[in-house]
Amino acid sequence: MTTRRITSLLLAILMAQAAASRALTGGEAALPVIWVVFLYALPLALILGLQGRARWTVLACVMYGTVGLALDISTAVQDLTHQTAGPASLVLGAVSGLANFLLIVFGGREFLDAGLWSPPADRPPNPPPHRTA
């Protein structure tokens, strides 16, 4: 499985986790638009960009995972210090945190393996130096 597919799968897992978390916590109230964009529209756009082989999307996935992991850690710390969440919320937060961490790892790997740092393949290598004896 390629890293682009793994990255797309991780984004889909994050979207499913957000929907499951909302369903388990009884989210009857409407989400603000910014959360709908961050939890559902942005990962979907990144999946489409990955499948379209847009080079910028792998770095955008790393940034998305970094922000998501920071939110997961801060939520876990708040839940543990104020004892406001049950075990289901902590487990869903751990799943989300792991998926965000793996998104950073695989997105970073794809970014470094994408050929951004290597010379173009159509350039021939330098010929060996001419030696005179």
In a domain, 122, yes or no: no
In a domain, 127, yes or no: no
The pTM (predicted TM-score) of the whole model is: 0.79
What pLDDT was estimated at residue 67?
96
Distance CA 15, CA 116 (A): 29
Count of domains observed in the chain: 1
More confident residue, 111 or 107: 107
Percent of the chain with pLDDT over 90: 41
In a domain, 126, yes or no: no
| Domain that includes residue 57, residue range | 3-113
Residue 1 banded pLDDT, cuts 50, 70, 90: low
In a domain, 121, yes or no: no
Residue 119 amino acid letter: P
In a domain, 130, yes or no: no
Per the CB < 8 A criterion, the answer to whether 63 and 34 are in contact is no
Q: Report pLDDT digits (tens) over 49-104.
A: 999 888 889 999 999 999 999 999 998 888 888 877 678 778 888 999 999 999 99
Please compute, for residue 56, the number of CA atoms within 13 A of its CA located in the half-sphere on the CB side.
1
